[in-house]
Each structure stands twice: as C-alpha cells, then as structure tokens.
Structure 1
Amino acid sequence: MPVLGLLLGLVAVIIGAVALAKAVRRTQSAVGLGLGGVALIIGIIVLAALGSIASNGVNAAATVSATSPAADLAGEPSIAATTEPTTKPTVTPTKKAAPTVNKPTTMAPAAEPVSLEQQNAIRSAQSYLQFGAFSRKGLIRQLSSDAGDGYTHSQAVYGVTKAGL
C-alpha cells in the first residue's frame, strides 16, 4: 500500500509540472505540484519506516536474552546473540494433574424457559436505563405503553426485574 502512495505522489508531481509548464491555472498547478511532492516525501518516509521495522523484527528474533552468574552479581543482565537454532524443545515436562473427581451435588430446580418477548423486554429495559433515569414504575409504564414498546404488563415487569431495577 505505501508503494501505491509513492506512485500516486510521483504521478501528481509529474502532472503538476506539466500543467505548470503549459501555464494553465498556475496557482492550481503549483498547489498540485506541492501536494504531489509532499505525498512523495511521505511515501518515502513510510517505506523507510516499514523497512526499518521489518529489519528490527528479524534482528530481535535472532537474539536471546541470557544472564550470566557474573552479571547477576553486578546487577546488570547481559545479552548474548545466538548463531545456531535450537532443535530441542525448551519446555520441561510437568507432573500429570490428578484426575478430577465429580462429587454429587444437589441440582437446582430448572429455570423456566424465557420467551422471546421477555428477552426483548429485558434488552429494552437495559437500553432505557443506559440513556436515562427511570423509576421502576416509570420504566414498566414506558415498556408497556402503546407509545412505548407495547409489551404486556407482565413482560414489562419481568424485563425491569431482570434488568436490575
């Protein structure tokens, strides 16, 4: 993508120079030439920065941080470069975890299934509470009114209760 910006900047400089040479609207030609030059410079800077980042990533992957006993005594770590890739895994094996034992528990009574209207009432109540202050009664009225969302009274009460009000 930076190469495309570089090419467009170069094209803008060329077109601006040609228009300036033909003496057609000198002000617009000069502005086009200047902006094309700025785009060309920015493109070069971006390409240089991306190249620098890519080369730093390669150099960082080739070095490994290690501390020697002498460095530990001095309080300063030393950094050593590696020339050979490691072929053995560096992860040490761990002990096997004990198998989990499932203890019998008492099951909670199954919750009643929530209808789509009740889910929507909860969502609507939460939405109203995010954008304004409502009392419990006021929010139930808003959700159950014809001018509001039109939920039944029981759906509105359910939504407000589950929304935490």
Structure 2
Amino acid sequence: MPCHPARARTLLERGRARVARLAPFTIRLIDRTLAESEVDGVQLRIDPGSKATGIALTDEKQEVRLGGPPVTVRRGLVSVELRHRGAQIRTKMHRRATLRQDSHPGRAVCRGAGRSRLYRPPPRTAMCRRQPRPWHLPAHADRRPRLPPAATATRQAPLRIHYR
C-alpha cells in the first residue's frame, strides 16, 4: 500500500522496513507475516476510454453520520491514467502507406493485388477447387474477427502493464 514519504522515513529509521527498489522508490515491511499482510476491501477499478484508460485502487469504509444510517464511503488510494497509442499508430500506418504509394507515382495501384500491383482476375475454370459456402453463411464467416492495430493496442495496453 502506498504511504506518505514521512511515514516511509520513520519506518526505515526504526528498522521496520527496508528499501526494495529505488526507481520507483519502494519499501518492504520486515516485521509483518503473510497472515497480517492481507488487506480487506481494496478493489482495482479499470475505466476504459477512447483516448486513455483510468486505473484506480480504492477501499471502502463504513461511516456513521450524525443520527443517521451507516454510509459506505469509497476513497481512492492510487490512481493512474494510461494514455493509448491509437492515434500515434494510426498516423504512422498512414505515413507508411503514403510512402508506399509514392514509390510508384505513374502506376495505377490496385489494393490487395500483391507484389505486381496489377489487377488479375481469378481464372475462370469449369471446376472450381473451393467448396461452395452454405447459403446462410456470409463470405467472411470462416475468418477470425480482427480489430484494427490501433484498437488492438488500446485493448492490450492494460494487460501489458499488469504482467510486467
């Protein structure tokens, strides 16, 4: 749990803690057992947004107001805002695509035609090797659903932070 720097200094001076890491500065308590270290009521809250994801660590306490029923009060312990790289990835991909198109200025470019950049219709043979799809399935039903790279980076950013 985070604590005030003054409290960290007193814990270090009294020998109750030791420095675990310098950047970010982290201390580890020495005189606690695993059973005493359990923290009740701490929750991790994640708020995904389009440009940033909010991550907060909160706890809840019951407080009694003057002559009223007990009220649950939630307070934030740590809050982090994780900025997404979606716009940055999108602009880099756009810049890469324009460089690719500018390398052959006089040619007509067909999307998805491969290396030759020429349109070649599929061969029309009497016996097609592919099996026809059932009438009720769309053409893209056998493909895995795919997100654009910017959206993929947005979804995977909190997971990368969690596993580091």
Category of TM-score, reference length = shorter chain: under 0.3
Could you state the TM-score of these two structures normalised by the residue count of structure 1?
A: 0.21
Q: Rg larger in 1 or in 2? A: 1
Could you state the TM-score of these two structures normalised by the residue count of structure 2?
A: 0.21
Greater strand percent: which structure? 2
